[in-house]
A and B are shown apart, each in its own frame.
Chain A
């Protein structure tokens, strides 16, 4: 008996939700985009020193006191942009993988995809790779992990708890690998690896912004382009073939897109857990089954989550700063528990 997915509505549910106003599908992402923008502006003013809103905004444009301009443009703005881009990539990656595996728990951070990216990234850091190239390494690691998972899913069937358990095993292997590699990293590169591993957005610079934006510019359009076909795949392989979608090729392409999105995010921000799990669920609840609006919503919710987690981590117990990854994990893990409970109820 395989466990059906709670977040993907059954056909009956889907027809019930169908008369969703197209306006809402457009308005929701727009409203979320505004919320993200507002969050970014708010984040510009917050930090170890409070800068009033107007001064922060002008400083972002390079006008104002030298101190303000430095803090806003060199410290806060890169960090905020990285948070938004990373969150967006994670949300989109999770939506694709969960939809593809038809399993709400099969998110990249649970089943070992981000683990593969982490392993590849620490290896690359240990080898002294420039930060700009890290997304390439992380993407390759994520692809490899996805390929292994996909191969194992072939044996287990993709729908059930079994695949998630296999993925958790995969995640444990990559985690152990990361620790092993860290132990062998030359001392002069150890600092960079450890900061990265904490899942922290601390000390992100414009190099990281460039890296993540270039990565996102490649992967996000790819995800949107492939999304039309994901809807068909979610109906089941036979129906997908029926409506003329080449199943195997589409699935491979979607897996690649999901892995690359996760890799880009992991490369610049380290392992930030539970965003790729939660954001797609929230998006589906807000706008219903898979559509471009769902993907946009998942990405925006992801951005909002990472931005919020970073602000909470910075301000909650100031002057002690918590890495964003610790905040998302501490808050996201109970959600995972609840999800598992609900998965059994269906």
Chain B
């Protein structure tokens, strides 16, 4: 084998701003992101394939369900928007947890096979075993955990241990495997195909308002756990030995963070299908904005995830009328180049 090319001349500068600027940044950024989120929410409710004047949309929000516009806003756009907020937050926070736990910039629900594992399990359950779709989140949890476990086992089976690229590659290959099996199941089972295929591409369309409330307690548990994991993950980022010195148990922190990440991803998968790459890009963007402390990154990601997902969803509604492009397609279009860029950077060890 030939030796690798000479090291790159330019390395990314470490982000270590002065304390004052850093503190300001961690306060101002979430506020700005919250404003952006409100804007994205408003856009998601106001813009759609049926053009409605803004005044009518506002009236419809409190309306008595008499006009078509009331029904469109209350039954279609509102559930869709709320699903987008929850799914976006879940995937982004899961991405932060996975990247922190594995100390791997490529770790994310997509690249560990968690989302496609969840998708496969849901399709298997609903289309083959006849499972009612209200159990989707549990199937997605089992499928996601199974896929992530398989990816870790496969990546760890190598002689030179678990390198970041190898872990991501294992997860990507498992994703490929599971999505081709999902496709095979679907082409056998024509009755569910259209609806499920739409969901599989990662879509917020046609969300039932009733699907959301049962998931909220799970969401709350997941988010609280994520906040509690912020400090242990900070310690972990200093290296395992330092983390032990700081009183953490790295193995347990990793396991917990992984389980919470899989749970959050399962909520997102049950709501919106396997949305690709959102959990990869948002944490990087958040770290770029607020630095690397996990508490700040978690907050920024939880706000930024919905902004990105809702924007993708709104763009998908208007880009190809009269049809809609699923939000997952657009997140893949933004996210895959990020994967290419991170993976081709020399900084990630093989």
Q: Quick check: A344 and B158 within 8 Å, CB to CB?
A: yes
Q: Is A41 an interface residue (CB 8 A)?
A: no
Binds B, one of A250-258, A290-298, A332-340: A332-340
Chain B hits for A330, CB < 8 A: 180-181, 183-184
What is the distance, in angstroms, from A145's C-beta to the closest C-beta of chain B?
Answer: 12
Q: Quick check: A180 and B340 within 8 Å, CB to CB?
A: no
Q: Is B336 an interface residue (CB 8 A)?
A: yes
Chain B hits for A340, CB < 8 A: 154, 169-170, 173
Q: Is B9 an interface residue (CB 8 A)?
A: no
By the criterion of a CB under 8 Å from any partner CB, how many residues of chain B are at the interface? 53
Q: Quick check: B323 and A183 within 8 Å, CB to CB?
A: yes
What is the distance, in angstroms, from B94's C-beta to the closest C-beta of chain A?
Answer: 19
List which B170-211 residues lie within 8 A (CB) of chain A. Answer: 170, 172-174, 176-177, 180-181, 183-184, 187-188, 190, 201
Q: Quick check: B333 and A177 within 8 Å, CB to CB?
A: yes
Q: Quick check: A162 and B325 within 8 Å, CB to CB?
A: no
Q: Quick check: A322 and B350 within 8 Å, CB to CB?
A: no
Q: Quick check: B177 and A337 within 8 Å, CB to CB?
A: yes
Q: Quick check: B343 and A162 within 8 Å, CB to CB?
A: yes
List which A137-165 residues lie within 8 A (CB) of chain B. Answer: 152, 155-157, 159-162, 164-165
Q: Is B70 an interface residue (CB 8 A)?
A: no
A345 and B158 in contact (CB under 8 A), knowing A2-B1, A162-B350, A164-B169? Answer: yes
Q: Quick check: A172 and B344 within 8 Å, CB to CB?
A: no
A287-B326 Cα distance, complex, nearest whole Å: 47
Q: Is B157 an interface residue (CB 8 A)?
A: yes
List which A317-346 residues lie within 8 A (CB) of chain B. Answer: 317, 320, 322-323, 326-327, 329-330, 332-334, 336-337, 340-341, 343-346
Q: Is B319 an interface residue (CB 8 A)?
A: yes
Q: Is A169 an interface residue (CB 8 A)?
A: yes
A345-B170 Cα distance, complex, nearest whole Å: 14
A326-B53 Cα distance, complex, nearest whole Å: 46
Q: Quick check: A166 and B1 within 8 Å, CB to CB?
A: no
A4 and B1 in contact (CB under 8 A), knowing A176-B336, A179-B201? Answer: yes
Q: Quick check: A320 and B172 within 8 Å, CB to CB?
A: no
Q: Is A184 an interface residue (CB 8 A)?
A: yes
Q: Quick check: A329 and B183 within 8 Å, CB to CB?
A: yes
Q: Quick check: B350 and A161 within 8 Å, CB to CB?
A: yes
What is the distance, in angstroms, from A273's C-beta to the closest C-beta of chain B?
Answer: 7
Q: Is A311 an interface residue (CB 8 A)?
A: no
Interface string of B327-350 (1 = CB under 8 A from A): 001101101110110011110101
Chain B hits for A343, CB < 8 A: 158
Binds A, one of B33-41, B160-168, B220-228: B160-168
Contact of B336 among A170, A180, A198, A273 (CB under 8 A): A170
Q: Is A205 an interface residue (CB 8 A)?
A: no
Q: Quick check: B333 and A157 within 8 Å, CB to CB?
A: no
Chain B hits for A180, CB < 8 A: 319-320, 325, 329-330, 333
Query: Which of B1, B154, B170 has the most CB atoms of chain A within a 10 A radius of its CB?
Result: B1
Q: Quick check: A159 and B2 within 8 Å, CB to CB?
A: yes
By the criterion of a CB under 8 Å from any partner CB, how many residues of chain A are at the interface? 52
List which B292-350 residues lie within 8 A (CB) of chain A. Answer: 319-320, 323-326, 329-330, 332-333, 335-337, 339-340, 343-346, 348, 350
Q: Is A237 an interface residue (CB 8 A)?
A: yes
Chain B hits for A2, CB < 8 A: 1, 4, 350
Q: Quick check: A273 and B174 within 8 Å, CB to CB?
A: no
Contact of A237 among B2, B166, B180, B350 (CB under 8 A): B2
Q: Is A130 an interface residue (CB 8 A)?
A: no
Q: Is B276 an interface residue (CB 8 A)?
A: yes
Chain B hits for A160, CB < 8 A: 165, 350
What is the distance, in angstroms, from A2's C-beta to the closest C-beta of chain B?
Answer: 5
Q: Is B159 an interface residue (CB 8 A)?
A: yes
Query: Which of A161, A180, A329, A337 has the most CB atoms of chain B within a 10 A radius of its CB?
Result: A161
What is the distance, in angstroms, from A197's C-beta to the closest C-beta of chain B?
Answer: 11
Contact of B177 among A3, A168, A336, A344 (CB under 8 A): A336
A165-B171 Cα distance, complex, nearest whole Å: 10
Q: Is A243 an interface residue (CB 8 A)?
A: no
Identity of the chain B residue whose Cβ is nearest the Cβ of A343 in the assembled complex: B158
Q: Please, could you name 28 A-B residue pairs with CB atoms under 8 Å apart, sorted by A?
A: A2-B4, A3-B350, A155-B345, A157-B5, A160-B165, A162-B165, A165-B172, A168-B172, A168-B339, A173-B336, A176-B276, A183-B323, A183-B324, A184-B319, A236-B2, A320-B190, A323-B187, A326-B187, A327-B184, A330-B183, A332-B180, A333-B180, A336-B173, A341-B154, A344-B154, A344-B158, A344-B160, A345-B158
* Interface residues in chain B, defined as those with a beta carbon under 8 Å from any beta carbon in chain A: 1-2, 4-5, 106, 154-155, 157-160, 163, 165-166, 168-170, 172-174, 176-177, 180-181, 183-184, 187-188, 190, 201, 276-277, 319-320, 323-326, 329-330, 332-333, 335-337, 339-340, 343-346, 348, 350
